[in-house]
Amino acid sequence: MCGIIGYIGDKQAQPILLGGLARLEYRGYDSCGVALAGGTLEVYKDAVRVEKLAKVSPQLDGTVGIAHTRWATHGEPSRVNAHPHLDCTGKIAVVHNGVINNYQRLKQQLISEGHKFVSETDTEVIPHLIEKYYEGDLEKAVEAALREVEGSYAIIVLMADEPGLVAARKDSPLIIGIGDRENFIASDVPAILGHTDRVIYLEEGDIVVVTGDSVRVSRDGVEVDWKEHKVSWSVEDAQKAGYEHFILKEIHEQPRVIRDTLGEYISAAEPIVDVADTSLESMLILACGTSYHAALVGKYIVEELLRIPVRAELASEFSYHGQSPATTMTIVITQSGETADTLKAMKKLKEAGCRVIAVTNVVGSSATRIAEQTVYIRAGPEISVAATKSFIAQLMALYWLALSYSVLDMRTRDSLIMELRQLPEKVQQVLNNEDMISECARYLSKYENAFFIGRGINFAIALEGALKLKEISYIHAEGYAAGELKHGPFALLSPDMPVIAIVAQDNTYEAMLTNIKEVKARGSPVIALAEEGDEVIGELADSVITVPQVAPIFSPVVNTVALQLLAYYTAKQRGCPIDFPRNLAKSVTVE
């Protein structure tokens, strides 16, 4: 989704803005642009990658500016639709994240008043509204303009000859980075890493005026105090560290991520979740995308360890039809903390009187503001659009939560905790198997379709394995509950339809072997994912990826890592832009 950055200080703004844009690329975008202010505004924008924009835009002189990466919603990716957008005088420039719902009505009104529009975007109404209300005070004009606007926004406004930048947020995140004789405004922390680790997370409805040495925040027309936070992520965390792609680095970071996340939970004096007045009789887990697959794994974990019924639901669906009693423990899982569908479901639950617990990776994100309680995962910045390490860290939060309240006897619980602590080594063993997995990927890369099948707790991993493959390799892949394959998808089985089968050493084992035989009998090649020491599977499958032995409840961890590598090497073999797949965004801030 769109990313924004603004700079004001005593340094040349252009390289800082372009560097910031490069660090925002991970959000997913199709065009980008930059505006710098001196006596006039200079704007360079196009439907190109940031690297290209940096090459083609001339060296601009100026110590204040704004920049944007756009993920098209209203109007195709093109130079004219790219941000920044200008008013009629060419003196007011705006970058915007979010969607203006009533832009058509506002646009008609402004056109009837003589304003000329050049783009198809919703954003363009904002600079024109600011122009309309400008009477020598930019902040007041922005305030007046935003009173007319319905929808979501994080905006930065730059005006030629004005001493400061004005920014505002509603339902879209915005942070201020505080430097030494310089300040930053950005949609998220990675944009400003390397410049400062001091940030202010703006609240809903905040309007802020930022100069090189001051930050003034107001809410409802009244100046408010702000709180400074220290960011724990470093610039190195958001770099490739010698890996060819961010995703490969992030896959390899997983032993560390498990250690950090569990380490924090284990050393905490209190349980990570305070169950307070929820009776722990039932649980609802909501999420989108890969986080939804973590929710599905969570359902199995909690049902097994707490013996209570759990519903795992897509947040995007729940917002429209879902209900939950206030006594149900409600958890939302969201890496970014900004997914619009997830936030909408959270607000609905809150209005219904539910206490919502957020599991997220991003400090200060919108989910943490809505939630009653937040459980942080310690994945560090995840730059690749396709989620990997955040998923594994989400599973750690769910394991720990379930083990904290499990109904198991002490000995069984302690032995599971011991196994949990060994997972970093087990994951490292999967990573050490990279060459063998990349061989399987070479084979898989020749196909255009694939099924992933699993049973029980690994059904969710079949879904996640298929999602990872389609996201980054563009192979059409479907995850299926192995027992369901014969109820329809069998019609598609043929030598052109490989099936990746997850074979766990649990009560589903025999049934999975039967399913594999059925698939083979219909001509589909089978790649099996199976535990070391499984003597039988080699005779049934065409190839086998082995994973280390773990307790069945932890098998999603090792299986996921193997499937992440399989997707990665398949995508690499096919020459795909792995970190930034076409049309996708890291953080989906629209419904």
Active centre residues (catalytic): 2, 586
Report the nearest approach of ligand G6P to the CB of residue 379 (Å).
Answer: 11
Contact segment (CB under 6 A) with ligand G6P among 106-114, 303-311, 320-328, 579-587 equals 579-587
H or E element: which one contains 178?
strand 175-178
**Contact between 288 and ligand G6P per CB under 6 A:** yes
What is the Cα 209 distance to its own chain's centre?
29
Residues 6+ positions from 106 with CB-CB distance below 8 Å? 100, 125, 129, 148, 149
Q: How far apart are CA 111 and CA 573, in angstroms?
A: 51
CB of 293 to ligand G6P, least distance (A): 8
Out of 358, 387, 453, 519, point to the residue binding ligand G6P (CB under 6 A): 387
The runs of H, that is alpha helices, within 229-328 are: 246-252, 254-267, 289-306, 315-321
Q: Is residue 512 close enough to count as binding ligand G6P by CB under 6 A? A: no
- Taking the complex as a whole, the smallest distance from the CB of residue 386 to ligand G6P amounts, in Å, to 6
Q: Which stretch binds ligand G6P (CB under 6 A): 166-174, 248-256, 525-533, 581-589?
A: 581-589
Quick note: the x/- pattern for ligand G6P over 527-566, rule CB under 6 A, is ----------------------------------------
In the bound complex, what is the minimum distance in angstroms from residue 448's beta carbon to ligand G6P? 22
Q: How far apart are CA 48 and CA 549, in angstroms?
A: 47
Closest by CA to 338, choosing from 189, 150, 561, 145, is 189
Instruction: Give the residue, chosen from 31, 123, 334, 508, that forms a contact with ligand G6P under the rule CB under 6 A.
Output: 334
388 forms part of the interface with ligand G6P (CB under 6 A)? no
The stretch among 39-47, 383-391, 458-466, 492-500 that binds ligand G6P (CB under 6 A) is 383-391
357 binds ligand G6P (CB under 6 A): no
Is residue 92 within 8 Å of 127, Cβ to Cβ?
yes
Return the structure tokens found at 138: 């930019």
Instruction: In whole angstroms, give the CA distance from residue 194 to residue 235.
Output: 5
Region of residue 341 (left: phi > 0; alpha: psi -120 to 50; beta: else): alpha
Q: How far apart are CA 184 and CA 178, in angstroms?
A: 6
The nearest distance, CB 532 to ligand G6P, in angstroms, is 30
Spell out, one character per residue from 231 to 270, where the chain touches ligand G6P: x when CB under 6 A holds, - when not: ----------------------------------------
* Cβ distance to ligand G6P smaller for residue 384 or 404: 384
In 3D space, the residue among 155, 131, 156 whose CA is nearest the CA of residue 145 turns out to be 131
Residue 555 has φ and ψ, to the nearest 5°, of -60, -30
Q: State the minimum distance, in angstroms, from the CB of residue 392 to ligand G6P.
A: 13
Residue 235's SS3 state is coil
In sequence order, the 6+-apart residues with CB closer than 8 A to the CB of 173 are 97, 154, 187, 188, 201, 202, 338, 364, 365, 366
Determine the residue with CB nearest ligand G6P. 289
Question: Binding ligand G6P by CB under 6 A: which of 386, 420, 463, 557?
Answer: 386
Binding characters for ligand G6P, 179-198, by CB under 6 A (x = yes):
--------------------
Asked if residue 586 binds ligand G6P (CB under 6 A), the reply is yes
Residue 289 near ligand G6P by CB under 6 A: yes
Residue choice 152, 187, 290, 589 for contact with ligand G6P (CB under 6 A):
290
Q: Residue 484, Cβ neighbours under 10 Å: how many?
A: 14
Which of 172, 330, 335, 555 touches ligand G6P by CB under 6 A?
335
Residue 319 near ligand G6P by CB under 6 A: no
Considering only residues 37-66, where is the footprint of ligand G6P by CB under 6 A? none
CA 362 to chain CA centroid, Å, is 10
Provide, rounded to whole angstroms, the least separation between the CB of residue 334 and ligand G6P: 3
**Which residues make beta-bridge pairs with 274?**
none
Q: Which is nearer to ligand G6P, 273 or 386 (CB)?
A: 386
Cβ partners under 8 Å of residue 364, min gap 6: 173, 175, 199, 201, 229
**142/139 Cα distance (integer angstroms):** 5
Q: Applying CB under 6 A, does 324 fall inside the site for ligand G6P? A: no
588 part of the interface to ligand G6P, by CB under 6 A: yes
Decide: residue 556, CB within 10 A, 0-12 exposed, 13-18 middle, 19+ buried. Answer: buried
Using CB under 6 A as the binding rule, whether residue 389 contacts ligand G6P is answered as no
In whole angstroms, give the CA distance from residue 207 to residue 219: 6
479: left (phi over 0), alpha (psi -120 to 50) or beta: beta
| 154/536 Cα distance (integer angstroms) | 57
Half-sphere exposure of 226 (CA within 13 A, CB side): 26
Order of strands, sheet of 373-376, starting from the edge strand that comes earlier in the sequence: 310-314, 283-287, 329-334, 356-360, 373-376
**Minimum CB distance to ligand G6P, residue 394 (Å):** 8
Closest contact distance (angstroms) between CB of 515 and ligand G6P is 28
Size of the site for ligand G6P (CB under 6 A): 16
Assess 385 for contact with ligand G6P (CB under 6 A): yes
Which CB, 290 or 328, lies closer to ligand G6P? 290
Q: Which of 183, 254, 291, 319 binds ligand G6P (CB under 6 A)?
A: 291
Q: How close are the terminal C-alpha atoms of the chain, in Å?
A: 12
Between 144 and 584, name the residue whose CB sits nearer to ligand G6P: 584
Tokens encoding 307: 């013996």
What's the closest the beta carbon of residue 338 comes to ligand G6P, in angstroms? 6
Which span sits near ligand G6P by CB under 6 A: 11-19, 259-267, 284-292, 372-380? 284-292
Please say which residue, 278 or 342, places its beta carbon nearer to ligand G6P. Answer: 342
Instruction: Name the minimum Å distance from CB 345 to ligand G6P.
Output: 11
Q: Which is nearer to ligand G6P, 368 or 543 (CB)?
A: 368
Interface positions with ligand G6P (CB under 6 A) = 288-291, 334-336, 339, 342, 385-387, 584, 586-588
